[in-house]
A and B are shown apart, each in its own frame.
Chain A
Amino acid sequence: MVVDLSPWAVKCIDKKRRAFLWKGSDEVKGGHCMLAWPKVCRPPELGGLGFLDLQLFGYALRMRWLWLKRTDDSRPWSQLPDRGGGNVVQAMFQASISIDLGDGASSFFWTDRWIQGKSIRDLAPCLFNAVGSRTQRTRTVAQGLQGDRWVKDISGALTVQVILDFLLVWDITRTITLRAGTPDRLLWKWTSDQNFSTASAYKAFFIGQHSIPGAKILSKTRAPGKCKFFGWLVLHDRCWTYARRRRHNLQTDDSCALCCQESETITHLLVGCSLAREIWHAVLLRLHWQQLALGSNIFCLADWWSSARKLIPKINLRSFDSMVILISWILWNERNRRVFDHQVRTSRQLLDFIADEAVQWVLASYSQVEKLALAHWSRICKCHSVVLVCSVCLVGCSDTRTLVFKFFLSLNEIRAQSRSLKKHTCSHTDTEN
């Protein structure tokens, strides 16, 4: 917030936001929160949900005032004494601007970065400390260079280091010539057009932080919200699998609910388990992406995901990403079905289910998984006419496409009777034509 919101107010608001997200009530205990709040508040590319960190966003908004104060004199408050907005804001602002030197009238000699993106403060820190703090803030470059007035500003003790710095600055100031008539230009470091934007200032606070693997890909993937949220939890390894429950002393046995062979971590469940491998293999085979098949030494879904992406032509990347989320989601659902409802689906049924789900997604306008849906149906029907319809719908307008997918859905109900199915398809193709 623009006004300096006190930490307790930020804390109160965060408490509300946190409780609403994880539990949907007014208050929440730690156990309900699957991820620490500061991590949730990071931008999506770094593995957060992209909530605003109010403290940092306040800093960014207040930086805008400092920027306008330096660049736009016509503002009514530009002459008012500077409260500065706090040390963090000042320091961050100083670090993010540099000066394109013109006549030197509006840039400050001691503090601004006017020597090829560097300031006297960086180049000669000892000399800088020997100058009075008031002079540091007010001396402009034009004043300082005129008759070398900056030399008179030095008031502290002349130690060896100060004299060395002095010589350095003396040499530098010989090379500088001011361009009279051209005003100084303030350059902002974090945008391409070098003008200030609050968004870039906010993002600058996250520079240098490590992103978690896969977060960037996930943030660009198109999939229904709940599936993406699940994908996000997977990347953070926060799903309540048996292994995690055992670690928290909630149960003693942690063998996998799908294969009963290994410890059930989320990585094992999605890419290590025999059932998961079977599903992945079948789906990838159908799409003619055999080269991506899961190796035996996979430690995490994100690793495989990002390495497999490199083998895929660019045009198919989007559909591959959505497909990964879709299949992970269905595997997780199947696991939960077995654990909670005691219902089991075979791998064949699962594959059909994946295709149905893909069709549903396409109808919900996630057209990225279209390829998956089509591949499945063209295989099952083994009937040329359907392949024909498929190719028609690939090039046809979106209306026809929807129609065809709806038709697929109706096919689903009579899938068992393959003969009548064939007839049905043929007749449908005729009407289509």
Chain B
Amino acid sequence: MEVLNSMIKKADMMGLLLPLDSKVKERIFLYADDVVLFIRPNQQDLLLTKGILEIFARVSGLETNINKCHTSPIQCNLEDSVTLKHLFPGKFDPFPTKYLGIPLSYKKLRKVDIQPLIDKVSDRLPSWKSKLLSKAGRAVLVKSTLSAIPVHGR
């Protein structure tokens, strides 16, 4: 994965990719098993990225499954979105989306976006379970799992 990182960085340094906002330092994020790429939505950049991913796949054997990729537009006009969809035919997933189990958005989160989190909490405390536990046991269960869900989001 470091190879992909340095490939993207090199393309960035050579000026092949259009620069992002000056305050955004990195354009690639690797966290756990997720890779996040920030690309300007013009055709040349997208083609280049696709090329880099293909070269990386051929060298390392880590093929990118385009159908499993999510693309989320940030400030894209309609034309850009069409190009994007054409080149990356994976799931088109506009914000608010979910990253690492936590709802993610550039706007304030709506009630609908947070509702899954709350449902997850109630899934972990089914009433049949409480019948088998004393109050002290329930307290431990609440402490260990219920409080951990909203914090870690998984």
Contacts and interface: CB of A to CB of B under 8 A. Distances in A.
A70 B130 CA distance: 45
With a 10 A CB-CB cut-off, give which of A1, A8, A79, A226 has the most chain B CB atoms: A1
Interface in B103-131: 103, 109, 111, 114, 117-118, 121-122, 125, 127, 129-131
Contacts of B53: none
Contacts, number: 95
B125 A81 contact: no
B151 interface: yes
A226 B118 contact: no
Interface in A208-260: 224-226, 228-229
Contact of B150 (A1, A225, A228): A1
Dominant secondary structure of chain A at its interface with chain B:
loop
A393 B137 CA distance: 33
B127 A24 contact: yes
B134 A229 contact: yes
Interface stretch (B21-29, B39-47, B55-63, B68-76): B21-29
Contacts of A1: 102, 150-151, 153
Contacts of A23: 130
B121 A52 contact: no
Contacts of B3: none
Given A26-B127, A51-B142, A229 B136 contact: yes
A153 B58 CA distance: 59
B138 A79 contact: no
B35 interface: no
Contacts of B140: 225
Given A3-B109, A61-B151, A80-B24, A24 B138 contact: yes
Rank and list the top 5 A-B pairs by shortest CB-CB distance, nearest first: A24-B130, A225-B136, A229-B136, A52-B147, A20-B125
Given A8-B111, A13-B117, A20-B142, 16 more contacts: A1-B102, A2-B151, A3-B109, A12-B118, A13-B146, A17-B121, A17-B125, A17-B146, A21-B142, A24-B131, A25-B127, A50-B143, A80-B24, A225-B137, A225-B140, A226-B135
Interface of B: 23-26, 29, 102-103, 109, 111, 114, 117-118, 121-122, 125, 127, 129-131, 133-143, 146-147, 150-151, 153
Interface of A: 1-3, 5-6, 8-9, 12-13, 16-17, 20-26, 49-52, 54, 57, 61, 76, 78-81, 224-226, 228-229
